[in-house]
Amino acid sequence: MPFLVYQTMVTDSVAGSGTFPTFVSVSLIDLLGIIALFVVILGSLWKYFQWRRSSPPNFFGSTRRTLHMSALVRAFFSELWNRVFLQKDIINNDRVRRFTHLTMFWGFLGLGITSALDYAFNQQGNYIPIFGSNLSGIRFLGNFAGVVMMIGATIAVVRLVTVHKYRTNRNLGDIWFTCLLFIAGLSGFITEYCGEIAYAANPSALPAAAYSISFSASLLISIPYGFHLASIALIFLTAPISFFMHALHVPSMRYMERLGMLVSMKRRSGQKSELLRSKESAMLDQVQEIYEQKKPE
Amino acid sequence: MTRLGMVIDLKRCIGCDACTLACKQEKGTPQSVMLARVFSREYGKFPNTKKFYLPILCNHCEDPPCVDACPSHAMIKRKDGIVSVIEDKCCGAQACVSACPYGAIYYPASMKTFTLSELTDLERYQIQNGIMKIRSAMKCDFCAIRVGEGMEPACVATCPAGCRIFGDLDDPNSKPNLYLHNRMPQDVPFYLRAEANTKPNVIYLK
């Protein structure tokens, strides 16, 4: 596996004049990415089992019996589009907060897509000019998404500092997540700028895939890039305990409620969601069981 | 520490729904929202059938999943043990509705008003003065305002059978603790859906 090959730094570039990717190789970034993904999956599973413990026991069975797989998939994409991408009916009481939330979300998503595209089409970690290359679209999307995310993150940070009410409504997990997003975005743009300068000075530098870790990169690149990587790593590594998890938790909860409504509609059993009905039924079953227990003689 | 809670003696409940109505009157909840419901179920085989009533309300859990689920921190666990909604903070994510194992949290589909056609004078006043938000999650808060003024929650004060006993569960001399202490040996205290591990503060007595 490529990311397990830890090749010590071998470079022919002059110390202090390396290009932007020379600080850490793509293989190390890949390794970090896989660890981050693993952490997010673990966090999601933890949340899921927490909810599963308190979910009604009959709900999943009745959902599976009543709804076809196509209905489950349709409901999933409908929730994904309306609740997650468009965020309909959410945060309607504060326009600035809604705008901030949307921009941070869309920016984060755009950066995620950019990273995936970069991994797919630029595995060597080559320098991509923003205009004039086949892969310029990837870099352009990354920059655009970064700007969108930074608009939201900057407003959020400014509000955290200046608006007392907004600050008191946040807890440590929210502040941590918001600040990390801001630092990741800011350090990303600084790194990119410094990388441009370094590449202009030394266009023949090796691509990132040739190294594990290089100490020959300019400090102007190493410091912001170090911050950038560290903040992204922290965003994912602390995901299970930070505000990050709400992005998966809240839509999942809404999806369950939606399934409950679909089952009720299919059975024509009124406006009450099947999820609520299952909860009530679970409580009544429990009490009935207690009543039916034989008294000790 | 204060830990407000309730003991509900199922033997005493006669299913009269007085608690449901008292709650609706106290809270002015919309048509589809009932924060204090009473269910009934028949069991056994004819001719040996019996019926029990089960009053349901928010269990004001020590480890409330709704608080954990709320992305905007509108759902809070107060120092006195009451779990309540800060309407102003509610962003409408509705994660709390799904997360609650007791189905005790509502998010009205339409406007959160008592009548569907028009606002009452009280609602108009509350909305204009920022006291009430037209759309937010709703749940039982043990009538926090009444409790703050030294009264009992409306459902407790109204129950004609006296099946609801309200007080501080951390105080050994409180009404619910004394009630539990003096119960008959065959009376079994239990929590609803204990498997959810939410540590409820509503104790049922069979």
**Of A93 and A168, which is predicted with more confidence?**
A168
CB B105 within 8 A of CB B139: yes
pLDDT grade for B114, boundaries at 50, 70 and 90: low
Residues in chain A within 8 Å Cβ distance of B52: 287-288, 291
A288–B41 CB contact, under 8 Å: yes
Q: Out of B133, B196, B206, whose CB is closest to A291?
A: B206
Q: Does A51 touch chain B (CB under 8 A)?
A: yes
B206–A55 CB contact, under 8 Å: no
Predicted pLDDT at A9: 37
Assess if residue A287 is contained within a domain.
Answer: no
Q: Which pTM does this prediction carry?
A: 0.82
Tell me, what CATH number does A240's domain have?
A: 1.20.950
B91–A93 CB contact, under 8 Å: yes
| Token pair listed for A279 | 């909860």
User: Does the structure show a pLDDT above 50 at A98?
Assistant: yes
Assess if residue A32 is contained within a domain.
Answer: yes
Tell me, what CATH number does B189's domain have?
A: 3.30.70.20
Assess if residue A270 is contained within a domain.
Answer: no
pLDDT grade for A53, boundaries at 50, 70 and 90: confident
Assess if residue A261 is contained within a domain.
Answer: no
User: Does the structure show a pLDDT above 90 at A185?
Assistant: yes
Q: Which domain holds residue B179?
A: 4-205
Assess if residue A266 is contained within a domain.
Answer: no
Geometric angle at alpha carbon B102, from A172 and B85, rounded to 5°: 40
Q: What is the distance in angstroms between the Cα of A147 and the nearest Cα belonging to chain B? A: 25
Predicted pLDDT at A6: 33
Please give the tally of structural domains in chain A: 1
- Tens digit of each residue's pLDDT (9 = 90 or more) over A99-113: 999 999 999 999 999
User: Which residues 135-164 of chain B have a CB within 8 Å of chain A?
Assistant: 135
Assess if residue A59 is contained within a domain.
Answer: no
Number of inter-chain CB pairs under 8 A, A vs B? 108
Q: What is d(CA A203, CA A212) in angstroms, rounded to the nearest whole number? A: 20
User: Does the structure show a pLDDT above 60 at A207?
Assistant: no
Distance of alpha carbon A144 from the chain centroid? 17
Residue type for position B128? Q
User: Which residues 90-149 of chain A have a CB within 8 Å of chain B?
Assistant: 90-93, 97
Q: What is d(CA A278, CA A27) in angstroms, rounded to the nearest whole number? A: 48
Please give the tally of structural domains in chain B: 1
Predicted pLDDT at A19: 47
Assess if residue A61 is contained within a domain.
Answer: no
Q: What is d(CA A199, CA A204) in angstroms, rounded to the nearest whole number? A: 8
Q: Which domain holds residue A25?
A: 2-46+68-254
Strand order from edge to edge, sheet including B164-168: B164-168, B4-9, B202-205, B189-190
